[in-house]
Amino acid sequence: MRLEDVARWSRVSTATVSRVLNNAPSVKNSTRARVMKAIETLKYNPNLHARSLAAGKSRSIGIIVSNLGNPFFWDIYRALERAARDAGYEVIIANTDYSSASLAASVWMMLGQRVAGLAAIVSEMDPQWIEVFEGHRIPVAYYGVNTPRKNIFNIRVQYRRGMEKLISHLYSLGHRRVGFVGHHTELGSIQERLKGVLDSVRRHPDLQVSAVEDEDSLEGGRRAARALLAANPTLTGLVCVNDWMAVGALRELRETGLCVPADISVTGFDNINLAQFCDPALTSVHLPRDRIGQIMCDFLINRESQYQHEFLIDPELVTRESTGPAGRNTVQT
Amino acid sequence: MRLEDVARWSRVSTATVSRVLNNAPSVKNSTRARVMKAIETLKYNPNLHARSLAAGKSRSIGIIVSNLGNPFFWDIYRALERAARDAGYEVIIANTDYSSASLAASVWMMLGQRVAGLAAIVSEMDPQWIEVFEGHRIPVAYYGVNTPRKNIFNIRVQYRRGMEKLISHLYSLGHRRVGFVGHHTELGSIQERLKGVLDSVRRHPDLQVSAVEDEDSLEGGRRAARALLAANPTLTGLVCVNDWMAVGALRELRETGLCVPADISVTGFDNINLAQFCDPALTSVHLPRDRIGQIMCDFLINRESQYQHEFLIDPELVTRESTGPAGRNTVQT
DNA sequence: TTGAAAGCGGTACCAG
DNA sequence: CTGGTACCGCTTTCAA
């Protein structure tokens, strides 16, 4: 079923059918109706490849994320998709699993698809890619690029400030020995969170921090918590790189018989919905996923975002049940 | 940067470059090397649209799901993606949000993309689509199509058996008044779960069931639980259509001050990872997402699945902490 | 308001 | 082993 079939059926040229398909204004109503009917009865379905090849562009924007299984990314995707769809665009997703190889493949694919714009929400985004994109003239919205760069649209979360808020919160509750549950710490934006922790340490000389890393998953969080406690049984607080892993950590603590927050406090990051649904509800720091998704889409499509080149986010502390005064593990001096 | 540029640079014809790109065996090593180098230095990136238009097919398979935000669907997607990638295929995702309109759009898009195969894991899949697909000659793997049909590959979960296992489990623990947390009950496969519940009622005449529905989300589960308890304060058990909503329900119960399972038992469905990470861990029924994803992909790509036309799954009961003997709410007769 | 025809960037068949 | 060259299905001038 091709354009030509529809054209023949409705006794017009393919050009006219094409016009109808694209709502060109210059088509007589009667012919338009005839063509529409043909499309209908023939169940014609345009070949998107041919369409974007001929048009030289595709009505779709791409989004690459590290781990869609983590609700944080999912929320951003949702917001971006909604905005894109409202503007008449499709969204193509790619998941990288924090793998550089996978990222490369995804980027390649997006480029091959000739997406109209690309949202890169991957902590493993290597600066080299930025140049590749510039060469391709395709607008890209980044998330979490830390090295300042001119002429790129970047959403930068002030992780360190977020982490500092969390750490200060714990410190003021009397915690002096905390563990950090991280993941893929070699990566930029994540590294940033760890730095936030370490900075806070410097600020509070009597604070001891031990870090461990595992994969970004419930199981990863659980294993990390286990490792941390095994090496350091007297920890009174667990700072997790994100809520997703924190939920895993909570599970491990429960298993061990430790009560949160009576015996040990736990903090997350991102403030995903699940943070309110786990037990105890997680103290976290809020990242506006909806906003992020919208802004990125807005930039990609309209290209005239009111935010020049960088959009800064200062995460806000959200205190819930998982943090409390340092309890029985506290050294009695 | 087009094929022709590469051809010119390496002093060969576009045909040869194409051969190199597709690993055709009949290319002299020296020329292959030259072309490769050209591709490399020019940073040539093939236009996927042109490619699949010319080839008449695309190396990608599509997957349509109802709610990727629910880990159940995510797990299936992951398995399918892994299998597809191993076979050299890309995977295109589409999410429908349980909306028929959205489903139609997704199907249309997949058809337009000329996917090599399609996995439809949507409870709202209307039988009419099956005919559309047959007209398009594209292999489709369905999940949860209940009305028996010849010549389609379908993975059918015996929801009713699963539900019966859950209900029997509760019944044997002394529960006689249970609530059903459902969602979109007008849809086929979900309807099936509700039927499972109702069937069990018939089997146990003294069992009372009240049902409520809400959206498939943590919040939805929570609201449903609230509604159920408000209308029926003496329930001793909550049967949820899936784990995702069950986690939301657990939250509500905790809020209300009810202890699970001491005061009220809760069951899920799917046995997603999160079921082991929530508190209390959920009693559920296991659905092998990995297996499902693999089998679907296998069928789509190799088309000679050892499973003829239907793959039946009999969900297995997994007992955990969220269910126990009917407690204080039990009527003292 | 409509049609004819030249591409868009590849693929693949047919020669050589 | 390599080149020439019809398409693939649709968009988009340019004329009519």
The predicted structure's pLDDT at residue B332: 42
Nearest nt to A47, CA vs C1'?
Answer: D9
Judged by CB atoms closer than 8 Å, whether chains meet at B58 and A74 is answered as no
Residue nearest to nucleotide D8 (CA to C1'): B54
> Residue ranges of the domains in chain A?
3-46, 58-157+289-314, 159-287
Token pair 């395709």 is found at A138
Instruction: Tell me the per-residue pLDDT of B164-210, one tens digit each, with 9 for 90 and over.
Output: 999 999 999 999 999 999 987 656 666 677 777 788 778 888 999 99
What the block records as the tokens of B192 is: 């099936």
**Is the C-alpha dihedral spanning A252, A257, A258, A260 positive or negative?**
positive
Lowest mean pLDDT among A49-58, A146-155, B16-25, B184-193: B184-193
Identical fold for domains A3-46 and A159-287, yes or no, is no
Rounded mean pLDDT of A16-37? 93
Mutate to test the interface with A, among B3, B42, B44, B48 (most CBs of A within 10 A): B48
Residues in A closer than 8 angstroms to B46, CB to CB, are: 112
Judged by CB atoms closer than 8 Å, whether chains meet at B45 and A136 is answered as yes
Residues in B closer than 8 angstroms to A50, CB to CB, are: 49, 53
Picking from B267, B243, B260, the residue whose alpha carbon sits closest to that of residue B171 is B267
The predicted structure's pLDDT at residue B331: 45
Chain A CA closest to residue B52: A49
CA pair distance A230, B21, nearest whole angstrom? 52
| Residues 136-165, chain A, touching B (beta carbon < 8 A) | 136
Kindly give the interhelix angle for B159-172 and B188-203, rounded to the nearest 10 degrees.
Answer: 40
Q: Write the DSSP assignment of A85-144 as a string of letters.
A: HHTT-EEEEEE-TT-HHHHHHHHHHHHHHT-SEEEEE-TT--HHHHHHHHHHT--EEEES
Instruction: Show which residues sit with Cβ under 7 A of nucleic chain C.
Output: A 11-16, 19, 25-28, 30-32, 50, 53-54, 56; B 1-4, 14-15, 18, 21-22, 44-47, 50-51, 53-55
Kindly give the interhelix angle for B14-21 and B3-10, rounded to the nearest 10 degrees.
Answer: 110
Measured in whole angstroms, how far is the alpha carbon of residue B243 from the centre of its chain?
13
Q: Given strand B90-95, what is the order of strands in its sheet?
A: B90-95, B60-65, B117-121, B140-143, B153-157, B310-313
Q: Give chain A residues 26-65 with Cβ within 7 A of strand D.
A: 44, 46-47, 50-51, 53-56
Q: Is B188 on the interface with A (CB under 8 A)?
A: no
B112 Cβ contacts chain D strand, under 7 Å: no
User: In angstroms, what CA-CA distances link B259 with A138, A261, B190, B255, B256?
Assistant: 55, 19, 28, 10, 9
Picking from A222, A235, A224, the residue whose alpha carbon sits closest to that of residue A170 is A235
User: Of B112, B247, B277, which is closest to A46 when you measure between CB atoms?
Assistant: B112
Rounded to whole angstroms, the distance from the CA of residue B4 to the C1' of nucleotide C12 is 16
Rounded mean pLDDT of A184-194? 67
Cβ-based neighbour number of residue B302 at 10 Å: 10
Beta bridge mates, B239: B180, B267
Rounded mean pLDDT of A109-130? 90
One-letter identity of residue A176: R
B11 Cβ contacts chain D strand, under 7 Å: yes
Token pair 């917001």 is found at A79
What share of chain A in percent tops pLDDT 70?
Answer: 95
Beta bridge mates, B238: B179, B266
Residues in A closer than 8 angstroms to B219, CB to CB, are: 273
Cα of A48 to nearest chain B Cα, Å: 5
Nearest nt to A56, CA vs C1'?
Answer: C8
Judged by CB atoms closer than 8 Å, whether chains meet at B50 and A53 is answered as yes
Residue pair B221/B180 in contact (Cβ under 8 Å)? The answer is no
Residue pair B162/B196 in contact (Cβ under 8 Å)? The answer is yes
The predicted structure's pLDDT at residue A265: 97
User: Of B109, B222, B274, which is closest to A90 when you measure between CB atoms?
Assistant: B109
What the block records as the tokens of B75 is: 């797990």
Residue pair A209/A180 in contact (Cβ under 8 Å)? The answer is yes
CA pair distance A231, B168, nearest whole angstrom? 45
pLDDT band at A67 (very low <50, low <70, confident <90, very high): very high
Nearest nt to B4, CA vs C1'?
Answer: C9
User: Of A45, A112, A114, which is closest to B108 when you measure between CB atoms?
Assistant: A45
For strand D, the positions having any atom within 7 A of a protein Cβ are 1-5, 7-13
Q: Is B53 on the interface with A (CB under 8 A)?
A: yes
Measured in whole angstroms, how far is the alpha carbon of residue A124 from the centre of its chain?
12
pLDDT band at A187 (very low <50, low <70, confident <90, very high): low
Q: Give chain A residues 121-140 with Cβ within 7 A of strand D.
A: none
Judged by CB atoms closer than 8 Å, whether chains meet at B254 and A279 is answered as yes
Nearest nt to A7, CA vs C1'?
Answer: C3
**Is the C-alpha dihedral spanning B205, B208, B213, B214 positive or negative?**
negative
Rounded to whole angstroms, the distance from the CA of residue A47 to the C1' of nucleotide C5 is 21
Rounded to whole angstroms, the distance from the CA of residue B79 to the C1' of nucleotide C12 is 34
Cβ-based neighbour number of residue B280 at 10 Å: 20
| Residues 215-254, chain A, touching B (beta carbon < 8 A) | 217-219, 222, 247-248, 250-251, 254
Pick the CATH number of B58-157+289-314 from 3.50.50.60, 3.40.630.10, 3.40.50.2300, 3.30.300.130: 3.40.50.2300
Residue pair A63/A73 in contact (Cβ under 8 Å)? The answer is no
Q: Which long-range contacts (CB under 8 A, 24 or more apart) does B302-306 make?
A: B303/B139, B305/B153
CATH number of A3-46: 1.10.260.40
CA torsion, ordered B81, A215, B244, B313, to nearest 10 deg: 50
Rounded to whole angstroms, the distance from the CA of residue B54 to the C1' of nucleotide D7 is 8
Judged by CB atoms closer than 8 Å, whether chains meet at B250 and A279 is answered as yes
Q: What share of chain B is helix, strand, coil (3-state, %, to 5)?
A: 45, 15, 35
B240 DSSP assignment: E
Mean residue pLDDT across chain A: 91
The predicted structure's pLDDT at residue A188: 61
B89 CB burial (10 A radius; 0-12, 13-18, 19+):
buried
A19 Cβ contacts chain D strand, under 7 Å: yes
A21 Cβ contacts chain D strand, under 7 Å: yes
The predicted structure's pLDDT at residue A144: 86
Q: On the CB side of B71, how many CA atoms lie within 13 Å of its CA?
A: 26
Residues 6+ apart with CB under 8 A from A147: A127, A188
Statement: A159-287 belongs to CATH 3.40.50.2300: yes
Instruction: Tell me the per-residue pLDDT of A252-274, one tens digit each, with 9 for 90 and over.
Output: 999 999 999 999 999 999 999 99
B27 Cβ contacts chain D strand, under 7 Å: yes
**Is the C-alpha dihedral spanning B202, B204, B208, B212 positive or negative?**
negative
What the block records as the tokens of A222 is: 């659980």
Residue pair A71/A219 in contact (Cβ under 8 Å)? The answer is no
Lowest mean pLDDT among A110-114, A191-195, A276-280, B184-188: B184-188
Instruction: Identify the segments of chain B with pLDDT beneath 70.
Output: 185-191, 304-307, 328-333
Q: Is B64 on the interface with A (CB under 8 A)?
A: no
Picking from A269, A262, A209, the residue whose alpha carbon sits closest to that of residue A240 is A269
The predicted structure's pLDDT at residue B185: 60
What share of chain A in percent tops pLDDT 90?
Answer: 75
Measured in whole angstroms, how far is the alpha carbon of residue A81 from the centre of its chain?
12
SS3 of residue A154 by DSSP? strand
User: In angstroms, what CA-CA distances link B178 with B127, B232, B239, B284?
Assistant: 33, 9, 7, 16
The predicted structure's pLDDT at residue B189: 61
Q: With a cut of 70, say whether residue A48 has pLDDT above it.
A: yes
* pTM for the model: 0.94
Cα of B252 to nearest chain A Cα, Å: 9
Cα of B95 to nearest chain A Cα, Å: 10
CB pairs under 8 A between A and B: 99
Lowest mean pLDDT among A11-15, A278-282, B307-311: B307-311
CA pair distance A155, A145, nearest whole angstrom? 8
Nearest nt to B45, CA vs C1'?
Answer: C9
Residues in A closer than 8 angstroms to B254, CB to CB, are: 279
Q: Is A47 on the interface with B (CB under 8 A)?
A: yes
Picking from B165, B238, B243, the residue whose alpha carbon sits closest to that of residue B200 is B165
